[in-house]
Amino acid sequence: MQTACAQKEKPKDEQKSNVAFLVGDWSGDSTCVNKEKFPACNSEKVVYHIKEVAGKPDTINLAADKIVNGKPDFMGDFDFAYDSKKQTLTTEVKNDHAHFVIELVVKDDVLEGAMTSLPDNTQVRQIKVKKDK
């Protein structure tokens, strides 16, 4: 009997989240790098709230706030795919106004990367946030 129970539990262990260490709040800067091409872009202090996505062990949901007058202003939430080999989080966003990809490199308690517009691959933002304690 114990063997059968152990075998049933094994698939749960195999589906264990690979992104649990990312869960929490991350604060830092989202800096515009091309005001000429993106004049409406503003550099911002940001807070990212990361949580796991049920049933998707390699996916996180990132809810993004910019800080305006000392208060959070919700910008949206995005699902990011986590690549454990490259240590990256990546998402692609497409709507009526924009098409871009965000790639963040995971370096311990720092996420650092860029937002790039598609299809021209022009960098829009440089992003660097640190996990809050």
- Overall average pLDDT of the 58-75 stretch: 96
CA terminus-to-terminus distance, the chain: 44
Domains in the chain, CATH or no CATH each? 2-131 (2.40.128.120)
Backbone angles phi, psi at 7, to 5 degrees: -65, -35
CB 98 within 8 A of CB 37: no
The string of pLDDT tens digits covering residues 88-114 is 999 999 988 889 999 999 999 999 999
Confidence of residue 13 (pLDDT cuts 50, 70, 90): very low
Phi, psi of 85 (to 5 degrees): -70, -45
- Do 39 and 78 contact (CB within 8 A), yes or no? no
pTM recorded for the entire structure:
0.85
In this prediction, what percent of the chain has a pLDDT beyond 70?
87
Q: Is the dihedral of CA 93, 99, 104, 110 positive or negative?
A: negative
3-state helix, strand and coil shares in percent for the chain, rounded to the nearest 5: 10, 60, 30
Residue indicated by tokens 């049920």 = 54
DSSP 121: T
Evaluate whether 31 touches 125 at the Cβ level (below 8 Å): yes
